[in-house]
Structure 1
Amino acid sequence: MTLAVQRAPARAADAPLVTGEFAFAAADFRAIAEIAKAEAGIDLPESKATLVYSRLAKRLRSLGLPNFTEYLDRVHGDEQERGNMIAALTTNVTRFFREPHHFEYLKKNILEPRAAHIRKGGRLRLWSSACSTGQEPYSMALTVLSVFPDARQLDIRILATDLNPNVVAHGKRGLYRNEEVAEVPQALRTKWLEPVAGDADSMRVGEAARALVAFRELNLMGNWPFKGPFDAIFCRNVAIYFDHETQGKIWKRLAGLLADGGDLYIGHSERVSGSAMNILTANGVTSYRKKSDAQR
């Protein structure tokens, strides 16, 4: 985890951190780290210098820039390139039904107990708060369809957000290679995914699942233009990029958007901390449930 990394003593501003195609000094790294923290809450210790260099050297080549000084000038003056920089620094590791126990919890703890209420006109709202290329929210949608095959006719919606516009666009397309959908249970894959004409190596998430998911760009460190409440929120493998103080703030904001009895699912190496634990209680492996008013 980020928090376990010991920070090295500060170096001279012009001291090289990485030897490569472009000069990369301590001052360059610190400037990038400051922008990443301010823009997206990402905590970058100096031990990540090689990773940062390798990710951003590609941007320099793409833009035809000779050094990081000119690149940072571009980043400071160009909002789109700041977004590109943050996108390059974030890791989008995901797959269908990753950490499958969370989807089982969603089905057994949220969907099935609320089934009668939802069928009588009640609402169900789920949020994938760092959706990457869409496998997580579509896994949520397929889990919903396993309980509510007619979900499109019910008041069920899934919000999928990410700060990277490229992965959001990928998710909207709902198109994945055959090896990517291999972990979708066979029964769900057969019923809710469809072949792609002219492309035997890919499958598309079917309309029934895609219709449940609304993809949006969202920076978790910015304003959230919705009020909830959500019956379940997935925020997995995101807080590992934040320092302890920022983690506490994010957990509190997420908990505040959960309905009473709603679940928060987090990554396997994460733990909820701070004041959020006043209103959440552990409810399984990396799963937390919001306490009712009577319990708080």
Structure 2
Amino acid sequence: MKRLPAPAQKVLSRDDLQQVCDFLYQQTGMLFGESKRYYIERRVTDRVLTTGAASFAVYFDRLRSNPAEREKLINAFTVNETYFYREEHQLACLGRSLLPDLITSRRPGDKIRIWSAPCSTGEEPYSIAIWLLENWRLVDAYHIEIVGSDIDTQALEAARQGRYGERALSRLSPDLLEAYFEPAQYQYWQILHDLRESVTFSHANLIDRASLAPQGTFDVIFCRNVLIYFDDEARLLAADNLYDRLKPGGYLCLGHSEAMSRISGRFTTRRFEDAIVYQRPRDIP
């Protein structure tokens, strides 16, 4: 369908805007409002034009009844700002404090599960894999399973492909780039096949308990810089869901501006040399 010139595109009425915001909140927990009008209108108008809907009302009826279109709109609103070795101090905490604590009750060969949720386009779970290979001397003694999950299906597909540009790779040393990537076209680098195979990616929604249950439970969860987009109610729901995905004694790492102590009292705050993290108590089933 031919795209209309910008001046001919209709803006959303106040009621239309509220419908979109309510829909996104119910589906994702992300909070939008009038202050984000331009951001919302650009994305909704693009979907209206792409689908050929005659009006916003027609499009919104399709959105509510069509899971594929619902997925496309949600993809358009997710934030995928990330890069390799982001908040590296938490990776150091993983190797120096969290894993040494966890393996006190494990034997060599036992499984250790690490979850990155949301994982965006894959930089975080791949960073975890690279950091462990480079810095944790016991990495080969245990069965490390790394899972990356996100609500954005396009981001997940990009993560599976594992192709990254200079900005995403800017914090990696030339030695790491050479060891774990191979040059691809147009100034992109691709994660080596064996490393791509070591990370599993899956679709999951932090506020949807049913979508999280198939993920199983984890020893360590990285859930960074997403709760800032939620309101108090959605944060608490996500916190409860993350608690349920943690094994007793497991650890949760949040973003630097997020604090579980302001969201839920179910976790124990742990202050380690490299980072503050949150633990599911061992003695509570």
What TM-score bracket applies, with the shorter chain setting the length?
Answer: 0.7 to 0.9
Given that 2:148 and 2:200 are in contact with CA atoms closer than 8 Å, whether structure 1 keeps it comes out as yes
Q: Which runs of 4+ in 1 moved over 6 A?
A: 115-119
Aligned-partner Cα distance in 2 for 1:97–1:221: 26
1:72 aligns with 2:35: no
1:24 aligns with 2:37: no
Given that 2:252 and 2:278 are in contact with CA atoms closer than 8 Å, whether structure 1 keeps it comes out as yes
Structure 1 residue corresponding to 2:277, chosen from 266, 272, 287: 287
TM-score (norm. length: structure 1)? 0.82
5+ long unaligned stretches in structure 1: 1-18
Measured against aligned partners, the alpha-carbon deviations of 1:19-62 in whole angstroms (never above 9, x if no partner) come to 97213101111111121122112222322222111222221232
Given that 1:118 and 1:155 are in contact with CA atoms closer than 8 Å, whether structure 2 keeps it comes out as no
1:210 aligns with 2:196: yes
Question: What are the within-5 Å matches in structure 2 for residues 144-159 of structure 1?
Answer: 144-147=132-135, 154-159=142-147
Task: Report the AA paired with residue 234 of structure 1.
Answer: F
Correspondence for 1:253: 241
* Aligned CA distance change for structure 1 residues 51 and 135 (closer, same or farther; 3 Å): same
Corresponding pairs, count: 275
* Aligned CA distance change for structure 1 residues 183 and 20 (closer, same or farther; 3 Å): farther
Given that 1:40 and 1:219 are in contact with CA atoms closer than 8 Å, whether structure 2 keeps it comes out as yes
Question: What are the within-5 Å matches in structure 2 for residues 35-46 of structure 1?
Answer: 35-46=23-34
Aligned-partner Cα distance in 2 for 1:187–1:115: 30
Given that 1:168 and 1:216 are in contact with CA atoms closer than 8 Å, whether structure 2 keeps it comes out as yes
Given that 1:158 and 1:212 are in contact with CA atoms closer than 8 Å, whether structure 2 keeps it comes out as yes
Given that 2:164 and 2:188 are in contact with CA atoms closer than 8 Å, whether structure 1 keeps it comes out as yes
Aligned-partner Cα distance in 2 for 1:248–1:117: 30
SS in 2 for 1:265: strand
Correspondence for 1:139: 127
Correspondence for 2:116: 128
Task: Report the AA paired with residue 282 of structure 2.
Answer: S
* Aligned CA distance change for structure 1 residues 150 and 286 (closer, same or farther; 3 Å): closer
Question: What are the within-5 Å matches in structure 2 for residues 184-223 of structure 1?
Answer: 184-196=172-184, 199=185, 201-222=187-208, 223=210
Given that 2:116 and 2:222 are in contact with CA atoms closer than 8 Å, whether structure 1 keeps it comes out as yes
* Aligned CA distance change for structure 1 residues 41 and 50 (closer, same or farther; 3 Å): same
5+ long unaligned stretches in structure 2: 1-6
* Aligned CA distance change for structure 1 residues 99 and 234 (closer, same or farther; 3 Å): same
SS in 2 for 1:86: helix
Correspondence for 2:213: 225
Q: What is the deviation of 1:228?
A: 4.1
Q: What is the deviation of 1:101?
A: 1.4
Given that 1:240 and 1:270 are in contact with CA atoms closer than 8 Å, whether structure 2 keeps it comes out as yes
Given that 1:126 and 1:157 are in contact with CA atoms closer than 8 Å, whether structure 2 keeps it comes out as yes
Given that 1:161 and 1:218 are in contact with CA atoms closer than 8 Å, whether structure 2 keeps it comes out as yes
Given that 1:121 and 1:155 are in contact with CA atoms closer than 8 Å, whether structure 2 keeps it comes out as yes
Identical-pair percentage? 29
Correspondence for 2:226: 238
Given that 1:133 and 1:168 are in contact with CA atoms closer than 8 Å, whether structure 2 keeps it comes out as yes
62-71 or 82-91, larger mean C-alpha shift:
62-71
TM-score (norm. length: structure 2)? 0.85
Correspondence for 2:265: 277
Structure 2 residue corresponding to 1:87, chosen from 75, 81, 84: 75
Over aligned residue pairs, what C-alpha RMSD do you find?
2.7
Aligned-partner Cα distance in 2 for 1:204–1:153: 27
